Chain A
């Protein structure tokens, strides 16, 4: 069978225009432009007539400002400047994980119990620092936004960014893990060690338990254990709820209205992470829309090869005096000759050779990125992909974000 040289193209416009697309999840490893891609796709969808809400997680300051996000208030706010002719709209928010967790507690317990939970030191640590809380709360917030969308009809597309996890897959597992834990037998065990029912556990689980809880008391210290117990007791009413919600969110991710977009840069490491992701999504039966390969080097003169450009530069020859200030400077030496460029003829020759050398280095970079990307496609045939050129500047306002969206859709 012949190897497929090029992957099917990921058509971002078709994806956001499809009314069946209800949720877009942007994922990928850290530093690949995931949050920006999420915001850009959301803006593009809104400009094209969708009523969109985008959930960002820890956006860069300038990106947040571009969206008009000033406060971390955990509530979607309208973004001003969406193309209104299309009847679309865009709301944006930043995730506040502690607040989201607090809201869950408040919504699912009586005011008394809620206060008890919120004041518990164990809860406070759990809601701010538990590795995985951010992932869980991102998914929780997604569930809330979806419910609100169904209820109020304010949005017909939800775009979510994913947390920069230690592993790119954490957010898929975190809800289930926390849910499993919160109604697991361990937490019931430590929540009731002194109760009579403890004996039942002893019988069921065997004699190891006695030892286990003794050890726990020793290791954690009695006070921390009692904080956990108080917390769990107060949380009792929410047990089933947590598990159920985790299951619901997980189900939402598998829904046919959901589309995952994996973002990567055209480097070996980022593409390796993307590969893990693509494989995991497939294994979990999650709907993958495709891969965005971001920040590709584009050439203005693609027909000129690296080798020919270098040979041409050599033929031009670089006059000695014009070379100063380039390459590696000596530590103490005069670093710059910017004030006194060489004579006219020499300067033109040096610049001409320089243009070709710059082109050669860009061509080399582009070729390497192309190899890495092609290797990824070969390993994952049938995964749609879009290759997006690098922008010369960071996103600093809505217009530059729109440019990113344009690049995503038209590359």
Chain B
């Protein structure tokens, strides 16, 4: 089942890779498989020999579940390496850890960190203060993205630690807010280090170094959310990348048969002879049942084709990933990574 099946009809334009992009943000409606796609994208990049950071920010341990590795701590850890020397480093970004690290770096806090924790300031900043949590989460990704390979390279002239960063971002409903949060904080904090960091993060996110990919299924609601998100992202000044259509199922019936079923002009009587050859001894009720199932299938095929047309109308490169009947594990992710590569995602 490695071939991306119809209802594609050869319409998936090969996506060019993303010139200049280092930070790939992957979003999608809940349940569309954005974590799987983010993991597959990271593996695809690593397969080219790149060192890739795969970061999640929702505290769900999605990476660990998708790639079958032990739960991730808020420290970077290698989760996979590839034949060509590439590797995927996993990180479950945690707001609290990010804040303490941030304070350590910028203020060399020793005991004061503990004091902040005791009076509830850390909780305040990471769970209550508006936007700060998201700022910290993105801030950590920002820091990892520009970290030099050589810690002594203070001016960041040499190579960086990571060739690419893939962010498993919040779902489409929240992603624009998540990515824009720095601009908001900049409005609240008019001066100070938070403000200046917020500004540089906004610059990175709206630059050509960052590209936002959307994951969808060929169903009404996810497609609608995808279209809405593309508009909003564009308005927010973000670079929209590919639309990855996930879980595309095989079209079992030829197109003419789909149309006959939809138009209810199947010649039922003519089915008797070939069905008899099946040796299954199907009674009329069973045949009617099979026809009903096939009609349901045809309706789904038609609906999916409609949704695919909507996705293609966005003008974004559209990639198709097959439905994997055995569920998702690390082998499946590797398979999806190859399909992404074949379709020009990396």
Q: Which of B43-51, B82-90, B265-273 binds A?
A: B265-273
* B5: nearest chain-A partner, CB-CB: A328
Give A305-344 interface residues, CB cut-off 8 Å to B: 308-309, 311-313, 315-317, 322-333, 335-342, 344
User: Is residue B250 contacting chain A, with contact meaning CB distance below 8 A?
Assistant: yes
Give A260-295 interface residues, CB cut-off 8 Å to B: 265, 267-270, 272
Give B290-308 interface residues, CB cut-off 8 Å to A: 290-294, 296-297, 299-300
Question: A315 to B275, alpha carbons, bound, how many Å?
Answer: 9
B253 touches A301 (CB 8 A): no
Among B127, B275, B288, point to the contact of A352 (Cβ < 8 A).
B275
User: Is residue A405 contacting chain B, with contact meaning CB distance below 8 A?
Assistant: no
A131 touches B103 (CB 8 A): no
B130 touches A312 (CB 8 A): no
Q: C-beta contact mask, B189-200 vs A, less than 8 Å → 1, else 0? A: 111111100000
Q: Which of A72-80, A83-91, A137-145, A214-222 binds B?
A: A214-222
From B111, B124, B288, name the one whose CB has the most chain A CB atoms within 10 angstroms.
B124
Contact A164:B171 (CB < 8 A) given known A122-B130, A337-B256 = yes
Question: A366 to B116, alpha carbons, bound, how many Å?
Answer: 53
Among B112, B188, B278, B282, point to the contact of A215 (Cβ < 8 A).
B112
B127 touches A354 (CB 8 A): no
What is the minimal beta-carbon distance from A63 to any residue of chain B, in angstroms?
10
User: Is residue B289 contacting chain A, with contact meaning CB distance below 8 A?
Assistant: yes
Among A31, A205, A208, point to the contact of B32 (Cβ < 8 A).
A31
Contact A359:B290 (CB < 8 A) given known A31-B31, A352-B278 = yes
Question: A339 to B255, alpha carbons, bound, how many Å?
Answer: 9
User: Is residue B20 contacting chain A, with contact meaning CB distance below 8 A?
Assistant: no
User: Is residue A53 contacting chain B, with contact meaning CB distance below 8 A?
Assistant: no
User: Is residue B59 contacting chain A, with contact meaning CB distance below 8 A?
Assistant: yes
Q: Which of A15-23, A40-48, A176-184 binds B?
A: A176-184
Question: A198 to B213, alpha carbons, bound, how many Å?
Answer: 50
A358 touches B192 (CB 8 A): no
Among B6, B192, B255, point to the contact of A218 (Cβ < 8 A).
B192
Task: Kindly list chain B residues whose C-beta atoms are within 8 Å of the C-beta of A212.
Answer: 112, 115-116, 119, 121
Among A206, A272, A324, A348, point to the contact of B271 (Cβ < 8 A).
A348
Give B8-45 interface residues, CB cut-off 8 Å to A: 8-10, 29-32
B29 touches A126 (CB 8 A): no
Task: Kindly list chain A residues whose C-beta atoms are within 8 Å of the C-beta of B190.
Answer: 221, 223-224
* B116: nearest chain-A partner, CB-CB: A212
A181 touches B251 (CB 8 A): no
Contact A326:B252 (CB < 8 A) given known A132-B127, A222-B191, A352-B275 = yes
Task: Kindly list chain B residues whose C-beta atoms are within 8 Å of the C-beta of A205.
Answer: 115, 118-119
Question: A45 to B259, alpha carbons, bound, how many Å?
Answer: 40
A358 touches B294 (CB 8 A): yes
From A216, A272, A351, A359, name the one whose CB has the most chain B CB atoms within 10 angstroms.
A351
Q: Which of A153-161, A185-193, A377-385 binds B?
A: A185-193
User: Is residue A111 contacting chain B, with contact meaning CB distance below 8 A?
Assistant: no
User: Is residue B235 contacting chain A, with contact meaning CB distance below 8 A?
Assistant: no
A131 touches B133 (CB 8 A): yes
Task: Kindly list chain B residues whose C-beta atoms are within 8 Å of the C-beta of A31.
Answer: 29-32, 221-222
What is the minimal beta-carbon distance from A23 to any residue of chain B, in angstroms?
25
Among B130, B192, B254, B274, point to the contact of A316 (Cβ < 8 A).
B274
A352 touches B10 (CB 8 A): no
Among B251, B254, B286, point to the contact of A337 (Cβ < 8 A).
B254
User: Is residue B69 contacting chain A, with contact meaning CB distance below 8 A?
Assistant: no
Among B119, B253, B280, point to the contact of A185 (Cβ < 8 A).
B119
Task: Kindly list chain B residues whose C-beta atoms are within 8 Å of the C-beta of A333.
Answer: 10
User: Is residue B74 contacting chain A, with contact meaning CB distance below 8 A?
Assistant: no
Give B91-108 interface residues, CB cut-off 8 Å to A: 103, 106-107
Task: Kindly list chain B residues whose C-beta atoms are within 8 Å of the C-beta of A303.
Answer: 286
Contact A327:B31 (CB < 8 A) given known A178-B128, A215-B107, A223-B189 = no
B115 touches A164 (CB 8 A): no
Give A381-411 interface residues, CB cut-off 8 Å to B: 392, 394
A348 touches B267 (CB 8 A): yes
Contact A341:B256 (CB < 8 A) given known A212-B112, A218-B107, A362-B297 = yes
Question: A129 to B170, alpha carbons, bound, how many Å?
Answer: 14
User: Is residue A32 contacting chain B, with contact meaning CB distance below 8 A?
Assistant: yes
* A189: nearest chain-B partner, CB-CB: B119
Question: A359 to B293, alpha carbons, bound, how many Å?
Answer: 7
Task: Kindly list chain B residues whose C-beta atoms are within 8 Å of the C-beta of A300.
Answer: 288-290, 292-293
* B14: nearest chain-A partner, CB-CB: A331
Q: C-beta contact mask, B319-343 vs A, less than 8 Å → 1, else 0? A: 0000001010000000000000000
Among B30, B191, B254, B292, point to the contact of A30 (Cβ < 8 A).
B30
5 CB contacts below 8 A, A to B, read A30-B30, A31-B29, A212-B119, A326-B251, A345-B270
Which residues of A are at the interface with B, using a C-beta cutoff of 8 A?
Answer: 29-32, 58, 60-61, 121-122, 125-126, 128-132, 164, 166-167, 177-178, 181, 184-187, 189, 205-206, 208-209, 211-212, 215-216, 218-224, 227, 265, 267-270, 272, 299-301, 303-304, 308-309, 311-313, 315-317, 322-333, 335-342, 344-345, 347-359, 361-362, 364-365, 368, 392, 394
5 pairs of A and B residues whose beta carbons are closest in the complex: A30-B30, A208-B115, A31-B31, A221-B192, A312-B278
